Amino acid sequence: MLGLYFIWGGLAFSLYPLAVAQLIDQLHPDEIVSGSADMLVMHGAGCAVAPIAAGSLMNVVGSHGLPLYIACVFTLLGIYALYRRRRVRAVVTHTAHFEPMVQSSAEVLEMIFDDTQRDLFDDPSFYEEDERERLARLVKTSTG
């Protein structure tokens, strides 16, 4: 039984990072920080409410209330995952450039990569035309 708890713990603690990754896939780069902050608030609210709900269920059902509560929460999560898989599409249209880094000194890296890589967000082709215009208007209003 201890082995099952170990596996459950390893799987359960990966839910928050997966949820953040799913959230980032649905947001525009300008909205990622506020979306992550909202996700953190929701996570904190869940951490505050869940022990109260589980404790209330344990008062009603007894010692089997906690596993029952966990099973109900994971069942709801599984149903939502099936819904998302069938109904929601990722909004990401551009993928970032990934370059694996080798374990080496800075001098060797300078010899390997003689030119610096541009930031993805500095590339004008990253944004659609209307998005570039919206960002330009935003910058003009904030500076002028």
| pLDDT tens digit sequence for 22-41 | 888 888 888 889 999 999 99
Indicate whether 128 pLDDT > 80: no
What the block records as the tokens of 59 is 């008062």
What percent of the chain is modeled with pLDDT above 90?
24
- The per-residue pLDDT for 38 is 93
User: For residue 128, what is the DSSP state?
Assistant: -
For residue 129 the two structure tokens come to 């035309």
Pair (81, 114) in one structural domain: no
d(C-alpha 134, C-alpha 99), whole Å: 31
In a domain, 98, yes or no: no
- List Cα–Cα distances, 71 to 8, 32, 50, 74, 90, in angstroms: 11, 31, 13, 5, 28
pLDDT of residue 21: 86
| Amino acid sitting at position 61 | V
Write the CA distances from 128 to 1, 92, 119, integer angstroms. 53, 12, 17
Based on the domain organization, do 83 and 113 belong to the same domain? no
Six-digit token pair at 35? 């979306």
> Is residue 100 in a domain?
no
Give the model's pLDDT for residue 125: 61
Instruction: Kindly state whether residues 11 and 54 are assigned to the same domain.
Output: yes
Whether 117 shows a pLDDT value over 60: the answer reads: no
In a domain, 119, yes or no: yes
Q: pLDDT band at residue 133, thresholds of 50, 70 and 90? A: confident
Evaluate if residue 113 carries a pLDDT over 80: no
Structural domain includes residue 36: yes
| Count of domains observed in the chain | 2
Contact 25, 37 (CB under 8 A): no
Range of the domain at 124: 106-143
In this predicted model, which residue has the larger pLDDT, 27 or 49? 49
Same domain? For 83 and 112 the reply is no
State whether 13 and 80 are in the same domain: yes
Residue 7 has pLDDT above 90, yes or no: no
CB 36 within 8 A of CB 20: yes
Query: Are residues 11 and 81 both part of a single domain?
Result: yes
Query: Does position 49 have pLDDT exceeding 90, yes or no?
Result: yes
Same domain, 16 and 43: yes
- 127: pLDDT strictly greater than 70: no
Pair (121, 73) in one structural domain: no
Q: Report CA-CA distances (Å) from 50 to 14, 43, 137.
A: 17, 10, 44
